[in-house]
Amino acid sequence: MNKLTARLDGNAQSTEAALESGAAATSLAAAKSVFPSPSQEALQTAARLKVILGEVGRMVAVTGIDSSDGSTPLAAQLGVALAATDESPVLVIDGNVQEPRLHEIFRVPQQPGILDLLEHRSDLAAATRSLDMNNLFLLPAGQASVSLAALLSRPAASQVFAEIRRIYRYVILDAGVIRNHPDGTLVASMSDGVVAAVAAGARRRHEVLQFRQELRQLNIPLLGVVLTRPE
């Protein structure tokens, strides 16, 4: 089921060794004291994403088959895991404007955010929150007078995301449940691929395969599936 695992079994030993290094363990301990503790699945996925993305890709959208799959907590965990195991700057973006929650998870104000940035009511520096880990940042949802889909359709949106890619080595986008909202679909289309959260024991294999087919029709690569245990 997990495409990341299937593609990277040959690198399992090297990625596990990197996760177990002293520097990574120290950073992760610091992260656990402030942020949601990443699951083992999130840590493994973060390590494998670094291999898959290489030097070119850097922006990953996180979604779920349904709202109960826990894609927002997974996005937060992946951001923390990447920042804890890599010294590069990591940005987490709340593109789930239907149900924005990342500002609550990281305990920062919701505004300004990505919506304000795309509507030219804020700049990237003002809208981005520096978190307690030196290399981890959050761009909350914010607020706008029009939909995110309308803002992303404007030519200036590509310039905003180009600037984000220039500054941050890794970007995790919470796209919400993209099959339900055009906003999330457009967010995911701007990424280099999608990681899907799937609630353990709640999804059948055919549901995952159907979702993968939906992504193919949208020309959005599925980078992997992560089993989650939403509370």
Domain limits, the chain: 3-228
- Give the tens place of pLDDT for each residue, 78-105: 999 999 888 889 999 999 998 999 999 9
> Mean pLDDT throughout 108-126?
93
Q: Does domain 3-228 have CATH number 3.30.420.40?
A: no
Question: Is residue 60 within 8 Å of 203, Cβ to Cβ?
Answer: no
**Residue 76: is its pLDDT beyond 80?**
yes
- Does this model's pTM top 0.75? My answer is yes
Predicted pLDDT of residue 171: 96
| Cβ atoms of residues 42 and 77 within 8 Å | yes
Mind listing the pLDDT tens digit for each residue in 123-182?
A: 999 999 999 888 999 999 999 888 888 998 888 899 999 999 999 999 999 999 888 888
Encode pLDDT of 24-58 as tens digits: 333 344 344 456 677 788 888 888 888 888 766 68
What's the order of all strands across the beta sheet hosting 194-199? 129-130, 136-139, 90-94, 170-176, 59-64, 194-199, 222-228
